[in-house]
């Protein structure tokens, strides 16, 4: 009886979200997750983005980033993480969460953002990635976090190969993972992995097994590998 009650609640919630979505198609994603009682429940996930680019000086850039906080919040920013790439201290990255995809798009197109980037010493066009998480385990603080993203021939084919590779990832001491698509394109995928230390990550990405698995999965072109060295969260 209890299970039927919870099923009724979930179906009612889905119907409500569907009615709201009729008028607001850019709502955030909802995930089915287990709550602390072990029952499945729908959890709203926030829109998440990754932006990275080169700068002349991290300190100068960071001051401009901090000064831009009111504008970021006005555009719907909920949280942020900033840092540099592990192998390139002149490339900064920002993870943001947003109230919705519409807020993210508005921020991305903001003319003030472009002007502030010039003032901050950004030396190349930034890369904007809208991350749509499809599945994954819980990310852990104080772990080495890296992302791999690339184009694929077919998402389902790639996902089967990724799942088949799980045992090998665990053998290389993967702590957690997240899988999703980029910018709403099913043929652009990302994998975010976490490791206990940088050496474990480096051994994994350099191994021939990973390259073979990517080839068999239908990866197109050269994958992008980024490892993050976080400096601040807010």
**Count of other CB atoms within 10 angstroms of residue 144:** 19
**Cα(41)–Cα(33) distance, rounded to whole angstroms?**
5
Helix residue ranges per DSSP H, the chain? 2-23, 58-67, 69-74, 101-108, 111-119, 155-164, 166-171, 198-206, 208-217
Positive/negative CA dihedral, 204, 205, 209, 215: positive
**Count of other CB atoms within 10 angstroms of residue 186:** 14
pLDDT value for 97: 96
**Cα(215)–Cα(158) distance, rounded to whole angstroms?**
10
**Cα(169)–Cα(167) distance, rounded to whole angstroms?**
5
pLDDT value for 123: 95
Fold entry, domain 138-227? Alpha-Beta Plaits (3.30.70)
**Equal CATH topology for 47-125 and 138-227:** yes
Task: Find all residues with CB under 8 Å of 130, minimum gap 6, and list them.
Answer: 47, 48, 49, 101, 104, 182, 183, 184
Fold entry, domain 47-125? Alpha-Beta Plaits (3.30.70)
Domain ranges of the chain: 2-44, 47-125, 138-227
Task: Name the helix (H) or strand (E) containing 88.
Answer: strand 88-98
**Count of other CB atoms within 10 angstroms of residue 30:** 15
95 DSSP β-pair partners: 50, 81
Q: Per residue of the chain (234 residues), what is the pLDDT tens digit? A: 545 444 444 444 433 333 333 333 333 444 444 443 444 444 435 799 999 999 999 999 999 999 999 999 999 999 999 999 999 999 999 999 999 999 999 999 988 898 999 999 999 999 999 999 999 998 998 999 999 999 999 999 999 999 999 999 999 999 999 999 999 999 999 999 999 999 999 999 999 999 999 999 999 999 999 999 999 999
């Amino acid at each position: 009886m209890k299970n039927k009650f919870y099923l009724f609640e979930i179906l009612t919630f889905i119907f409500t979200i569907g009615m709201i979505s009729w008028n607001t198609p850019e709502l955030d994603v909802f995930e089915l997750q287990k709550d602390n009682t072990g029952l499945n429940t729908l959890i709203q996930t926030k829109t998440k983005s990754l932006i990275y680019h080169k700068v002349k000086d991290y300190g100068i850039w960071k001051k401009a980033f901090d000064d831009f906080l009111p504008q970021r919040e006005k555009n719907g920013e909920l949280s942020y993480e900033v840092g540099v790439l592990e192998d390139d201290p002149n490339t900064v990255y920002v993870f943001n969460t947003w109230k919705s995809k519409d807020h993210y798009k508005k921020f991305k197109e903001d003319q003030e953002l472009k002007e502030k980037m010039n003032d901050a010493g950004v030396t190349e066009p930034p890369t904007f990635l809208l991350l749509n998480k499809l599945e994954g385990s819980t990310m852990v603080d104080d772990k080495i976090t890296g992302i791999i993203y690339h184009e694929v021939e077919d998402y389902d084919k790639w996902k089967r190969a990724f799942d088949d590779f799980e045992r090998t990832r665990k053998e290389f001491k993967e702590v957690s993972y997240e899988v999703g698509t980029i910018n709403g394109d099913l043929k652009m995928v990302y994998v975010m992995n976490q490791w206990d230390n940088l050496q474990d990550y480096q051994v994994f990405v350099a191994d021939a097994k990973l390259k073979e698995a990517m080839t068999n999965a239908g990866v197109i072109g050269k994958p992008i590998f980024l490892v993050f060295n976080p400096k601040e969260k807010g």
